[in-house]
Chain A
Amino acid sequence: MGEKLSNKQGSIMIVGVGGQGTLLASRLIGNILMENGYDVKVSEVHGMSQRGGSVVTYVRYGDQVASPVINRGEADIILAFERLEAARWLSSLKKGGTLIVSDQRIDPMPVIMGAAEYPEGILEAIRAKGVDVISADAIELATQAGSSKAANVVLIGMLSNLMPFSESEWKAVIDRTVPPKFLEINEKAFALGRAIAAR
């Protein structure tokens, strides 16, 4: 499977801020895995965490998946929609795992209020720990594609390089998952993301 992910089993974690579209991302990954014959579990938390709080979604696949969640040191890949969330969930990453991150900052309320500081140099600090970090400004690329809301699909494009599915398979799953009127934007967003990580 790809360069990074085992074709036997894997754990992908999607982290971000409530409202960023992490659920669509997990559905796309879950669906492409199921269609390729894997057992899949996707775990998400709804409710309170949607209101601008920290959100996390787990995708696990293999011959037979037991637990739907990913704990510390277990994720092959973390797909982070925001830098601080990448730092928050870094401990979930397996040694030798990959962090794909949108180079974006969203201040949480304690930072806005001046009660806490947003750490500087998050991605540099993570790289210094030997983590393979792939980063891009997914919002900027999504805006190029036609809507900043498609940042989730830009990140899926970045992830797609580490998985063994063809561009047409990804396009097919995007076709089936996103509403038709946003299809063109999402296809562009996917292509821009896929181009990034391939460098």
Chain B
Amino acid sequence: MKRLMLGNEAVARGLYEAGCRFVSSYPGTPSTEITEFAAKYPEVYAEWAPNEKVAVESAIGASIAGARAFAAMKHVGANVAADPIFTVAYSGVSGGLVIAVADDPGMHSSQNEQDSRHYAEAAKIPMLEPSDSTECRDYAKLAFELSEEYDTPIFLRLVTRIAHSQSIVELQDRADIPMKEYVKNPQKYVMAPANAKRRHPFVEDRLARMAQWAEDCALNRIEWGDRKIGIIASGACYQYAREVMGDRASYLKLGLVFPLPTELIKTFAAGVDKLYVIEELDDVLETHCRKLGIEVTGKSLFPLVDEFSQELVREKLLGELPDAIEFDAPVPVRPPVLCPGCPHRGFFYTAAKLKLTVLGDIGCYTLGSGAPLSAMDTTICMGASISSLHGFNKMKPETKNRTIAVIGDSTFAHSGITGLVNIVYNQSASTVVILDNSITGMTGHQQNPTTGQTLQGDPTYAINLEELCHAVGIKRVRVEDPYNLKAMETILKEELAVDEPSVIIARRPCALLKTVKHHPPRVVNRDACKACKVCFKIGCPAITWKDGKSHVDETLCVGCGLCAQVCPFGAIEEGKGA
């Protein structure tokens, strides 16, 4: 049967067909759907872990137990998981172990543009990179076989344009792969120095053997066309090059991007007049070619930044610019915003009103940094809000009563807890706000350890944030609805004034959750509206300007009433049916 499948869905299909039994991941765009689709196969156990490190370690355990195991993450998630990854490269596997890392060139939904191929090189773990959905499925399956044959974890690298593009996949059946027997083997799995010293030469030898395999494996292939131009590429870049050049060039298409072949590249280079390397982000392939003494054009022509396209390849290789119709007037940007009814809006309105310095974190609430709320000073990585607040307050104690950290429930469970432990242990009088919207929002509503539901939506224990904060030693824990503006303002002032650590839990579920009841849209009483535009300060996309007065767009408004709370003239009234 043929199916039009997202690259991520095809990876999940590959896991299923490969007989994979265990999947553990933390959501992160553009990798999230792999695990969501994997969870639809009853034969595959799939779960959301609290973070990527836990996910990979769980998958390592499943592999040692004898199962084919898998973890998926976005590129920055690989930083969190790097610790176990670098050492499982030494210990190797029992059941096949595959780790998918999805890079985001162009930063569609990320805080940096790092190139995960460096992890393959640094951790000495082979890396496959598919260029369409069929390859996503095929490479995922092959990765398990390579993992078991060479006793190594395998990276599957995706980029946004492969993970989030659909193409046609011909479905195959699931392989019946039995569990391997567990045999105690401390020389292989206890990576204490004496054992690790014995494993390191194995790792180097394994890489050499895989590099040999890279020379004639089906993953790497030469496609001869016109030999005036030769192009080395993998993944999405291969597709852009094919799109532009067709048979007017020859290609070395690499499916194994680490370790790289030597003789194959030399053969290809010798067969073409001019050789290009087309790779997004860093010059990994190009550097390899240069080490071999091969003359190649890469980053002198193509940028180190942003996502590539066929337009870029056409311009750089052929000097052709598009013949485009341009719209003449300036087109205002349309940045993403907090949704109508978003609970974070109420909190950020209060934070902005009190002119607080806000050390932020990763999630929907990062949108609180945008105008008009403009209520965020920093965003670095998952969990950094709490830890950096500690350092900030230690060095600037004089501003601690107007400085806070904000972090979501999922991000807190991911890597906020250890920062809170540090605040208690090393005693900074810091105020941490957990924006608890009862879901992992930005990646599209995934459950997490605080929501009381598993990946499959089954009921499970919900970690109680208040008790957790108490347990690590926070004596002052307050809970308030961020839409109760007056109460939240009072609590913030009180907690910032005290000379000890405190946590405020701003609790209200995401307005997009199906369980959240919406109210009838609000209505502006045009006689009462004085056109002061105070309601515009909350940055709600449902509030617009119409004929000199404020207006509520009834197709967008969910009746949360925040605008009515801030209107000094009581001009925003409850809608009909309320």
Contact = CB atoms under 8 A, between A and B. Distances in A.
A34 B370 contact: no
A105 to B, nearest CB: 9
Query: Top 5 closest A-B pairs, CB basis?
Result: A47-B109, A47-B29, A53-B336, A71-B311, A116-B332
Contacts of B108: 45, 47-49
Interface string A65-96: 11111011110000000001101101111010
Interface stretch (B160-168, B214-222, B416-424, B450-458): B160-168
9 contacts: A41-B165, A42-B4, A43-B166, A48-B336, A54-B333, A90-B325, A92-B324, A119-B327, A125-B328
A149 to B, nearest CB: 10
B28 to A, nearest CB: 9
Interface string B280-317: 00000000000000000000000000000111000000
B496 interface: no
B329 A87 contact: yes
Interface string B361-382: 0001001001110000000000
Contact of B309 (A69, A95, A114, A118): A69
Contacts of B372: 109, 113
B405 interface: no
B161 A68 contact: yes
Contacts of A74: 310-311, 322
B370 A109 contact: yes
A110 B168 contact: no
Nearest to A149: B555
Given A53-B334, A113-B536, A48 B322 contact: no
Interface string B505-549: 000000000000000000000000000000010010101110000
B30 interface: yes
A73 B322 contact: yes
A123 to B, nearest CB: 11
B168 A39 contact: yes
Given A47-B30, A71-B309, A118-B332, A90 B371 contact: no
- Chain B interface main SS type: loop
Contacts of A122: 327
B327 A66 contact: no
B160 A52 contact: no
A118 B370 CA distance: 19
Given A107-B544, A114-B545, 15 more contacts: A19-B339, A34-B4, A39-B168, A47-B443, A50-B444, A51-B339, A67-B239, A67-B309, A68-B132, A71-B310, A74-B310, A90-B326, A93-B325, A116-B332, A131-B325
A109 B541 contact: yes
B442 interface: yes
A125 B332 CA distance: 16
Contacts of A90: 325-327
A66 B243 contact: yes
B319 interface: no
Nearest to B541: A52
A44 interface: yes
Nearest to A143: B555
A109 B161 contact: no
Contact of B167 (A19, A40, A49): A40
Contacts of B165: 41-44, 68
B330 interface: yes
Contacts of A93: 324-325
B311 A72 contact: yes
A2 to B, nearest CB: 21
B327 A126 contact: yes
B477 to A, nearest CB: 30
B310 A84 contact: no
Contact of B334 (A42, A108, A119): A108
Contacts of B322: 71-74, 91
B331 interface: yes
A117 interface: yes
Contact of A31 (B4, B309, B328): B4
A46 B30 contact: yes
A67 B310 contact: yes
A91 B331 CA distance: 12
Interface in B251-299: none
B416 to A, nearest CB: 21
Contacts of B339: 19, 51-52
Contacts of B33: 46
A25 interface: no
B332 A69 contact: no
Given A46-B29, A67-B243, A112-B544, A52 B327 contact: no
Contact of B331 (A50, A51, A87): A87
A18 interface: yes
A100 to B, nearest CB: 15
B283 to A, nearest CB: 22
A68 B159 CA distance: 12
Given A47-B109, A51-B364, A52-B339, A87 B327 contact: yes
Interface in A129-161: 129, 131, 139, 148
A119 B4 contact: no
B364 A69 contact: no
Nearest to B338: A51
A129 B331 CA distance: 17
A90 to B, nearest CB: 5
A63 to B, nearest CB: 12
B481 to A, nearest CB: 22
A126 B526 CA distance: 35
B337 interface: yes
A129 B167 CA distance: 34
Interface in B143-202: 160-161, 164-168
A87 B330 CA distance: 9
A101 to B, nearest CB: 13
A87 B334 CA distance: 12
B240 interface: yes
Interface-central residue, B30, B324, B328, B544, by most chain A CB under 10 Å: B324
A177 B543 CA distance: 34
B402 interface: no
Contacts of A87: 327, 329, 331
Given A73-B324, A95-B325, A112 B309 contact: no
Given A53-B336, A68-B161, A115 B2 contact: no
Interface-central residue, A17, A66, A108, by most chain B CB under 10 Å: A66
B372 to A, nearest CB: 6
Interface-central residue, B4, B161, B325, B444, by most chain A CB under 10 Å: B325
Given A52-B541, A109-B539, A44 B164 contact: yes
B371 A111 contact: no
Nearest to A120: B329
